[in-house]
Structure 1
Amino acid sequence: MSDLLRPLRRSLVLPALLALGACGSWVGHDDRFMGVVPLYRIEIVQGNVVTKEAAERVKPGMSREQVRDILGSPMVADVFHADRWDYVFTIRRQGAAAQARRLVAQFEGDKLKSFDVPGDLPTEKEFVASINTFKPRGESPKLALSEAERAALPRPVRPEPPAVEASGATRAYPPLEK
């Protein structure tokens, strides 16, 4: 019986290998399976987000501790390059363009000597807008009432507090002075 199945197995190996090899071509450049079904891509965020506002606060002559307070701990603080801190940031988020930035802080002893910042460093609002994949439909919701709307609201009714009745044993004591 196994002698009869050998030719059949051999004839199925080549089509199976071709089918497996073609799996990679089923996903297009737009991350869709066969151009139809969108694939889920895990969000990968690495490093520290350094915005233009934070980078502007860093000045030459600052101590290492002051730089760390503003920018956070560096992604790379190498033993062999003790006077160099690398702040690397990368993000891959589905529906948003991938981003990668690298900032380098050079120290001389404990003081900041130079801070290399890329020219395309975004502001905080620009960064949030670049990774925001939520696109609301219609107008954004109203978050506050106007004074006229606030005045038109009914006043809350406050119930009268219940009368407190004495509880427990009550005794009548004679006056202390006569």
Structure 2
Amino acid sequence: MMKTVVQLIVVMSFLASLSACSNMIYRIDVPQGNYLEQKDIDKLRVAMTKEQVKFVLGSPVADNPFDNDTWHYFYSLKGGRGNNFEKQLIVEFKDNKLQDISGDFNKSEDFNTPLDI
């Protein structure tokens, strides 16, 4: 009986030490998509051309052959320690001019003021 208790204690301490080692394993962060900052979004103005928007933000994540007037920018970070992060921006055009933006970023106060003025 005493031998079984000692074996059980040894097994339990071994399992506890294994679970403590799992936190020491390095896990890589996996970023995907377009990383955007609010300062980039603040540069956008209504009536900008698609080329101007692409210059400021870069190319969208994916092209939609059925709706060329809506661009989707998406960024996700799967952190190695479980700290996941996601942000998206939807840019809408009408007649090749920037009409509106929506998503996880704020519009700047100057968004509705075209660059030409």
Which residue number corresponds to residue 114 of structure 1? 100
Which residue number corresponds to residue 26 of structure 2? 40
AA paired with 2:22?
V
Which residue number corresponds to residue 13 of structure 1? none
2:52 matched to 1:51?
A: no
Using the TM superposition, give the Cα deviation of residue 118 of structure 1 relative to its aligned residue in structure 2, in angstroms: 1.4
For residues 86-145 of structure 1, the C-alpha deviation after alignment (integer angstroms, 9 at most, x for no partner) is 00000123347211011000111210111113158xxxxxxxxxxxxxxxxxxxxxxxxx
Other structure's SS at 2:20 match? coil
Instruction: Report the count of equivalent residues.
Output: 89
**Larger RCO, structures 1/2 (Cα 8 Å, 6+ apart):** 2
Using the TM superposition, give the Cα deviation of residue 53 of structure 1 relative to its aligned residue in structure 2, in angstroms: 0.5
Counting only pairs closer than 5 Å after superposition, residues 57-96 of structure 1 correspond to structure 2 as 57-95=43-81
The unaligned stretches of length 5 or more in structure 2 are 1-14, 107-117
Deviating beyond 6 angstroms after TM superposition, the runs of 4 or more aligned structure 1 residues are: none
The unaligned stretches of length 5 or more in structure 1 are 1-25, 27-32, 121-178
- Of Structure 1 and Structure 2, which has the larger fraction of its residues in strand? 2
- Aligned Cα root-mean-square deviation (Å): 2.1
Asked if the contact 2:75/2:86 (under 8 Å) is kept, the reply is yes
Asked if the contact 1:55/1:117 (under 8 Å) is kept, the reply is no
Give distance in 2, aligned partners of 1:117 and 1:53: 15
Using the TM superposition, give the Cα deviation of residue 49 of structure 1 relative to its aligned residue in structure 2, in angstroms: 1.0
Other structure's SS at 1:105 match? strand
- Identity among equivalent positions (%) equals 25
For residues 51-101 of structure 1, the C-alpha deviation after alignment (integer angstroms, 9 at most, x for no partner) is 110001011100000000000110022001111100000012334721101
Report the TM-score, using the length of structure 2 for normalisation.
0.67
Other structure's SS at 1:78 match? coil
For residues 137-174 of structure 1, the C-alpha deviation after alignment (integer angstroms, 9 at most, x for no partner) is xxxxxxxxxxxxxxxxxxxxxxxxxxxxxxxxxxxxxx
Asked if the contact 1:48/1:74 (under 8 Å) is kept, the reply is yes
Report the TM-score, using the length of structure 1 for normalisation.
0.45
Other structure's SS at 2:66 match? coil
